[in-house]
Structure 1
Amino acid sequence: MAERWQIHPVTPQARLIEKAAERIRDGALALAPTDAGYCLAWGLNAREAEERVLRLRELDSRHPFTLLCRQLSEAGRLARLDDRAFRLMRSLTPGPCTFILPASADLPKRIRNSGRSKRRDIGIRLPAHRVSQALLEAVGEPLLSTSLVLPGDEAPASHGAEDVAGRWLRWADLMLDAGDCEPGPTSIVDCTGEEPVLVRQGFHPVAL
């Protein structure tokens, strides 16, 4: 049965963060708050959790999940950042913005070889929410994530904690309940071409 833990959104309780991190390291699928709504999050090697997400959202194995990172240096190990992309990410992170970047050779093998072809681009976020930041620090490595969109929906129905729990907790192993989150979505910036391109304007407007 999934567990739901009430956690402070600004000063999260260390014991709950460590408990959640331990569960995630053991392969759990978590509902976690971010600065752009709740998301599903799981470890890089949590194959069973990822398979559940694929079935739940009716996605194929080529779907590009977003990597949540602790800091810019960690993102720089997973993606190839030129000076322009580095400066842009430094100015917009942490915050509700997803960056599409060329994958580096250091991208974990399972992520790089996911789907039917080798991954050339990846999506990276550095969330500003204190709970997600603390969770990433405790886990000690990036987490894979996806938005709370069920088949047939164009966007999450709600990011209110009660609505998220009622709609999603049955399919997760745990929820870090930090109360209602800002709704999202993130802005999406594609940094794989000659110039950055704003693919989607999020709920916090971004100027490139």
Structure 2
Amino acid sequence: MAEFIKIYNENPNQKEIDKVVKILKKGGLVIYPTDTVYGLGCDISNTKALERIAQIKGVKIDKAKFSFICDSLSHLSDYVKQIDTATFKILKRALPGPYTFILPGNSSLPKIFKKKKTVGIRIPDNNIIRTLVAHLGNPIVSTSIRDDDEILEYTTDPELIYEKWRSKVDVVVNGGYGDNTASTIIDLTEDVPNVIREGKGSLDVL
């Protein structure tokens, strides 16, 4: 049964952050708030945890479209090939914010992602998840938790999320009500930015 831990976005409590980080380091799965919808994730370096997420989502790990949540742009070069000035300016304008940027991956990607040529990078405008990533010391591999309801794609109430997911994950972070609009996905691997999905983020950043 998952733990249900309340953390406030304005001022994340260090004791609660440490508790969640400990679970992540042991290979636990965590549901957490972002600046868009609630996400499901694990430590990028934990293969078993990644396989658990792929199984929950019903996808093969090498086909999975997971994004990586970073706490700042300073760690991009760990997983992304060198990017040009124009691309960096877009990232700087947009992040932290409700965007997923597709960028060319480099050879330092974890073994499980080695076949991937690109990576989706997220730096949400949410103190809870960015603090978790900063204290974990690794990006969190992330996927949004969709609802089975055709009308309501994303559950926004953390208590309802906990009820539904408590037997599948190790901790649900209650960071207040989430949004029900997913991030805007923009591919920056070509010369011209390509909008894959228009979501919460405005296209004015391009």
What TM-score does the superposition give when structure 1 sets the normalisation length?
A: 0.90
Are the structure 2 counterparts of residues 153 and 84 from structure 1 closer, same or farther at C-alpha, using a change threshold of 3 Å? farther
Runs of 4+ aligned structure 1 residues displaced above 3 Å come to: 150-157
User: Are residues 1:88 and 2:90 paired?
Assistant: yes
Structure 2: any 5+ residue segments left out of the alignment? none
* Cα displacement (A) at 1:125: 0.4
- Equivalent runs, 1:109-128 vs 2, <5 Å: 109-112=111-114, 118-128=115-125
CA contact (8 A) 2:44 2:50 kept: no
Amino acid at match of 1:95: G
- Quote how far apart the aligned CAs of 1:44 are: 1.6
The whole-number CA distance in structure 2 between the counterparts of 1:91 and 1:168 is: 35
In structure 2, the residue corresponding to 1:199 is in which secondary structure? strand
Q: Percent identity?
A: 28
Any conservation in 2 of the 1:160–1:181 contact (CA below 8 Å)? yes
Contact 1:57 1:149 in 2 (8 A): no
| Cα distance between partner residues in 2 of 1:33 and 1:167 | 16
Deviations 1:8-61 (Å, cap 9, x if unpaired)?
Answer: 121111001011111101100001111112100101232232222222221122
Question: Residue 20 of structure 2 corresponds to which residue in structure 1?
Answer: 20
Q: 1:180-202: per-residue Cα shift (whole Å, max 9, x none)?
A: 02223100010111111111111
Indicate the residue corresponding to 2:140 in structure 1. Answer: 143
- Match of 1:78, as an amino acid? Y
AA of the residue aligned to 1:121: T
Residue 110 of structure 2 aligns to which amino acid in structure 1? Answer: P
RMSD: 1.8
Structure 1 residue 166 displacement after superposition: 1.9
Q: Match of 1:65?
A: 66
Which residue of 2 is the match for residue 6 of structure 1? Answer: 6
Q: Which amino acid aligns with 1:92?
A: A
Where structure 1 has 5 or more consecutive residues not aligned to the other structure, the ranges are 113-117
Give the match for residue 54 of structure 2: 54
Q: CA deviation at 1:129?
A: 0.5
The aligned counterpart of 1:37 is 37
Aligned to 1:115: none
Contact 1:70/1:126 (8 A) holds in 2: yes
* Secondary structure in structure 1 of the residue aligned to 2:131: helix
Paired position in structure 1 for 2:105: 103
Aligned to 1:169, which of 166, 176, 185? 166
Q: Which amino acid aligns with 2:195?
A: L
- Taking structure 2 as the reference length, the TM-score comes to 0.91
